[in-house]
Amino acid sequence: MTSIENKIIDAVTKAVKAAYPKADVESTYVAKPSAFPHVTIWEEDNTNPMQYQGTAQSKRYASVQYIVNIYCNDKTKKATAKHIADIIDGVMTDLGLLRTLRRPTPNADRTIFRMSMRYRGLVEEGITEGDTTTYIMHHS
């Protein structure tokens, strides 16, 4: 199965922490974040596309979907969340993923502003040289 999850999470973490060094970025849901702003990003789906199922190419392609949640609780929490969303959108778009959702999401703790985003793409596993594999992202 083709997986680029670590590459995507690493790229998002690096970009968010460059702008917000105290930000917390996790690849799993955290019920009580230890720091804010807090970002969660995880691979929600990784499946073989229908057109490649049952073929020799099925292991080279994956249809992927990622969920991002941004939590902020400072005085300008909505503006901060939108700025972080713009940073993440730039990273994800540069990686070739297509954003399919961006919206404020109600949060149980109303002192925290939450922004949710969803991305999708079709990953093609390319050439492997040593420990490095190249990936090509297509819009699905």
Can you read off the two tokens belonging to residue 23? Answer: 């930000």
Q: What is the mean pLDDT of the chain?
A: 87
pLDDT of residue 63: 87
CA distance 88 to 101: 13
Give the model's pLDDT for residue 2. Answer: 57
pLDDT for res 125: 76
Domain that holds residue 114: 5-138
Taking the model in full, what pTM does it have? Answer: 0.87
Lookup result for tokens 């793409």: 121
**What is the model's pLDDT at position 1?**
47
What stretches in the chain show pLDDT beneath 50? 1
Give the count of beta carbons closer than 10 Å to the beta carbon of residue 73: 16
73: helix, coil or strand? coil
* CATH assignment at residue 19: 3.30.70.1700
Q: How far apart are CA 54 and CA 74, in angstroms?
A: 51
- For residue 31, the model assigns a pLDDT of 82
Residue 6 and residue 137 in contact, taking contact as beta carbons nearer than 8 Å:
no
5-19 helix and 77-94 helix, angle to the nearest 10 degrees: 140
pLDDT at residue 54, rounded to an integer: 63
**Distance separating alpha carbons of residues 98 and 45, to the nearest angstrom:** 14
How would you classify the pairing of strands 61-72 and 113-129?
A: antiparallel
Q: Is 64 helix (H, G, I), strand (E, B) or coil?
A: strand
Number of domains in the chain: 1
Tokens of 6: 């670590």
